[in-house]
Amino acid sequence: MATIVEITEPKALEVKDFEFTYAKADAPSIKKLSMPIARHNITALIGPSGCGKTTLLRSFNRIHDLYPGNKYEGEIIFKDRNILTPKEDLIKLRIQIGMIFQKPTAFPMSIFDNVAYGMRLQGIKNKTELQGRVEKALQDAAIWGEVKDRLKHDANGLSGGQQQRLCIARAIAVEPEVLLFDEPTSALDPISTGGIEELIVELRERVSIIIVTHNMQQAARVSDYTGFMYLGELVELGRTEEIFVTPRERLTEEYITGKFG
Amino acid sequence: MTHTQKRILINDIVMALSTLSAIIGIGFLLWILGVLVTNGLEALSTTIFTAEGAPPGNSEGGLKHALIGQLILVSYAALFGVPLGILAGTYLSEYGLKSKMAETIRDISDIMMSAPSIVIGAFVYAMIPIILRTTDDMLQLVPSTLREAAFALGAPKYKVIIQVVYRGAKAGILTGVLLGVARVAGETAPLLFTSFNDNFLNTNMNEPMASLTVTIYNYATSPYEDWQQLGWAAAFILSMFILTLNIIGRLFLLKRKGR
Amino acid sequence: MNNIVDKIFANSTKFIAFGVLLLVAWIFAVLFEHSLESIKAFGFSFIADDKWAPNLEKFGALPAIYGSVVSTFLAMILAVPVAIGIAIFLSEIAHAKLKTPVGISIELLAAIPSVIYGMWGLFYFVPIIRDTFGGVGISMLTAGIVLSIMILPFMAAVTRDAMNTTPDILKESAYALGGTKWDVIKDIIIPYAKAGIIGSFILALGRAIGETMAVTFVMGNVHKISTDLRDPATSIPVTLANEFAEADSELYYSSLFELSLLLLIISFTIISIAKFYFLRRKRVGA
């Protein structure tokens, strides 16, 4: 049984007895996991390789569904519904829950078209509206100044750090409620990393954030809550200051002090 | 209809059309193979292999000369093409590497592979580019650490290549040879020019030689039914030979990838 | 001793490799040499003249060129959408278990010798064209369709391979914004793989123009330009295949050689464009 601290804020998501089995696997990768995600907060998921943190993250927007054969059990409650049911409208879900990936994934199109992509998918065609929202998203991603004169240029001309900000702008342009970050700075240099971390903290005002990271210091710097996972189970979830200073589980302490992973 | 609903509809239509395309593709394959097999099997009999070509109307006709002729031609082509192709490919991978000259040779070779066979003519020349490229690619796949280890033991370059690199790329080179032979065995066009002797065929075979492919062409386009039958039998034999080589070659490649 | 063997080995391989280049140059030279008589006799009108009359010793290549262009064009129009469809099916729709057998089947289609396509075309497809569209059955239309079936496997396979090079993470990013499969294919995969796809189409075009056997069975070798696709026609390879054995004069031979030279130059050019503009080769291994 995981040690989970009481969450005072309302919940953005709630995971209940969640189990996940990959297509060809004999055993589930995530076992009977329950955990709350606080709204307008940053929850970090940490743990050694293979603990299931990325698997869990990718279940929130059901991106696993792209690959046939995976099995979900249990519930993930979002806006009063279980999003794991077959009836769930995945397109709508993915607009409400966005994702940023480990490597910057700028689409092969202009900077403007990248940011506008999600909105265009929804059918927004009005030029003024698009321009306005693209500008706002790029400002919120703290990159407007750098790109405002080259919006029509190919996005691949941007540096790694800039591209990741672009991806963030692209994700927030559709005004999601939750943002999932899958090791967003693992491919970036330390300076860009710092910038992205600052950005994530600012975004907390608007969206609820879940971030998977290999880097414990990053989790400590950035998050409000931290969940430690091991071998497919949640070991402990608590306020970040407590987890890193006075963890309640021995396993957590061993991981944090570098005894393994 | 909302924009998203429209998107989903278009998506479903495109997916359906794509599946339809695949069905069309497979459909043609099955049709052509089916036709080949039914007609070919029907026309096949043991005398085909033993009887010699006969005038139409004589149901005793066979493909002996054509089959032997084809085997000779293909073997001859392989005899020249395989070693030349392998050696040229070896040069590219082990000596020329990425030099401008080597890249030019690779490029020209690629172009040759796709150029019209009727013009590039003879057999022999067609095989060289294919084997050259596969040898080049397969040899490059052998990790350089293997070569370095051999050199570090004091081996001269030619021994490194022959004893270490060739051995490592064995399966791949063999596949290349099989596929090259398969491709050349199916060639007809260059052989239509039996009067085109010295410049293109460049062989000592001054006798017109029956080949399976030209025989197929002549017999199939003739107005005689027993010749047409033989044409199907010949087509069937040729295709089975080629498809078998292809399948064996692919199995080799798959085994290699599996490692 | 080892040094000598090393030198011999190195030089022999080098010699042979360079020999490939010489070979190509030699082929061009031979073709050119044999075309001289025809070039001298007709000059530019060889390409512009539409009368091909061996008995009159007049050789105009226009019908053959026309036939090559039209049949290839027709083949491309038919093959491109189907090839893209098959590629989409193989890379995005098919179940893992289906991918391999269907993929291999498509590749086997490519291995079937063209003589077989020709036979099938002549005995089975020509009657269908005849019954459906009228005419003799042996026609430009039939040639175009049979040609399209021949280039289909190659185009589908290379397009599928190009599409598969798109990184998963890029595709997932588009799905994560609510894209459908088709959205991802048209906005992400195809732009990403654009160079490879276009290159392979142009390469297929280059090959189609040189295709001989399949087309020889079903085109007819009639040196007449007609706008009715149901009429028989001829193409450069078809002319060569049919008439080389019959050529009975120096000028006739020379004209056929000039045709060969033309064909080689055209296909060489098209294939080179495909290669150098679109299909920059990726370095393999070490």
Which comes out higher in pLDDT, residue B61 or A22? A22
Q: Identify the top-confidence range among A13-22, B104-113, B114-123.
A: A13-22
Residue B204 has pLDDT above 50, yes or no: no
Q: Does residue C35 belong to any structural domain of this protein?
A: no
Helix extents (H) in chain A: 53-60, 90-96, 111-121, 127-140, 144-147, 160-172, 190-203, 216-222, 240-245, 250-256
Architecture of domain B50-258: Orthogonal Bundle (1.10)
Full residue range of the structural domain in which residue A14 is found: 3-105+176-256
- The amino acid sitting at A256 is I
Question: Measuring CA to CA, how many Å separate B235 from each of A252, B217, C126?
Answer: 72, 9, 18
Confidence category of residue B213, pLDDT binned at 50, 70, 90? confident
Spacing of C-alpha B151 from chain mean position? 36
> Chains meeting B at 3+ CB pairs closer than 8 A?
A, C
Q: Is C18 a domain residue?
A: no
Model-level ipTM above the cut of 0.95: no
According to the model, what pLDDT value does residue A224 have?
Answer: 95
Q: Are C144 and C75 in contact (CB under 8 A)?
A: yes
CB B135 within 8 A of CB B85: yes
* List of chain A residues with pLDDT < 70: 261
In this structure, are residues C198 and C276 in contact, taking their beta carbons and an 8 Å threshold? no
Number of residues that make up chain B: 259
Please judge whether C170 and A105 are an interchain contact, meaning their C-beta atoms are less than 8 angstroms apart. Answer: yes
Contact C172 A66 (CB under 8 A): yes
User: Which residues touch B172 (CB under 8 Å, ≥6 apart)?
Assistant: B134, B137, B138, B141, B252, B253, B256
Q: State the pLDDT at residue C221.
A: 87
Domain spans, chain B = 3-43, 50-258
**Residue of chain A whose Cα is closest to the Cα of B6:** A123
Q: Is the pLDDT of residue B192 over 70?
A: no
CATH of the domain at A205: 3.40.50.300
**Per-residue pLDDT in tens (0 to 9) along chain C, 286 residues:** 778 888 889 898 888 888 888 888 888 888 898 889 888 888 888 888 888 888 888 888 899 999 999 999 999 999 999 999 999 999 989 888 888 888 888 888 888 888 899 999 999 999 999 999 888 889 999 999 999 999 999 999 989 999 999 999 999 999 999 999 999 999 999 999 998 899 889 999 998 998 888 899 999 888 988 888 888 999 999 988 888 777 788 888 888 889 989 999 999 999 999 888 777 755 333 3
Q: Which pTM value belongs to this model?
A: 0.85
Helices B100-114 and C250-273 meet at what angle, rounded to 10?
120
Alpha helices in chain B (DSSP H): 3-43, 46-50, 64-90, 100-114, 117-120, 123-141, 144-152, 157-159, 166-185, 212-220, 225-258
Which pLDDT score is estimated for B151? Answer: 87
Which strand (E) or helix (H) includes residue A19?
strand A11-21
Rounded Cα distance between A195 and A200, Å, is: 9
Which residues on chain B are in Cβ contact (under 8 Å) with A90?
none
The band of B70, judged by pLDDT with boundaries at 50, 70 and 90, is: confident
Residues of A in contact with B2 (CB under 8 A): 123
Residue A212 lies in a domain: yes
Residue B258: per-residue pLDDT: 56
Residue at A132 is within a domain: no
Residue B197: its pLDDT value, please? 34
- Note whether B148 contacts C: Cβ–Cβ < 8 A: no
- How far CA C63 is from CA of C46, C47, C73, C194, C223, in Å, comes to 11, 9, 15, 34, 5
CATH number of the CATH domain containing C80: 1.10.3720.10
Do residues C224 and C233 lie in contact, with contact meaning Cβ atoms separated by under 8 Å?
Answer: yes
Residue with tokens 């943002």: A179
Domain that holds residue C100: 52-278
Q: In this predicted structure, what is the pLDDT of residue B58?
A: 58
pLDDT of residue C196: 87
Residue B203: what pLDDT?
41
pLDDT at position B194 over 60 = no
What angle (nearest 5°) sits at the alpha carbon of residue B54, between those of residues B52 and B59?
Answer: 100
- Residue C262 in any domain: the answer is yes
Closest residue in B to A125 (Cα–Cα): B3
Chain-chain contact of B3 with A122 (C-beta, under 8 angstroms): yes
At position A223, the amino acid (one-letter code) is: S
**From CA B17, how far away is CA A242, in angstroms rounded?**
57
Residue C61 resides in a domain: yes
pLDDT digits (tens, 9 = 90+) for B222-240: 888 878 888 888 888 888 8
| Residue at token pair 């080259």 | A150
Q: Kindly tell me if the per-residue pLDDT of B259 is higher than 50.
A: no
How far apart CA A66 and CA B52 sit, in angstroms, is 60
Residue B94: pLDDT above 70? yes
Question: What pLDDT was estimated at residue B211?
Answer: 74
Scanning C109-138 for CB atoms below 8 A from B yields 109, 111-120, 122-124
- Which tokens hold the place of A193? 């990393």
Domain count for chain C, please give it: 1
Q: Is the pLDDT of residue B198 over 70?
A: no
Closest CA to C145 of C171, C115, C113, C122: C122
Q: Subunits with at least 3 CB pairs below 8 A relative to chain A?
A: B, C
Quote the number of domains for chain A: 1
The answer to whether the beta carbons of residues C219 and B222 sit under 8 Å apart is no
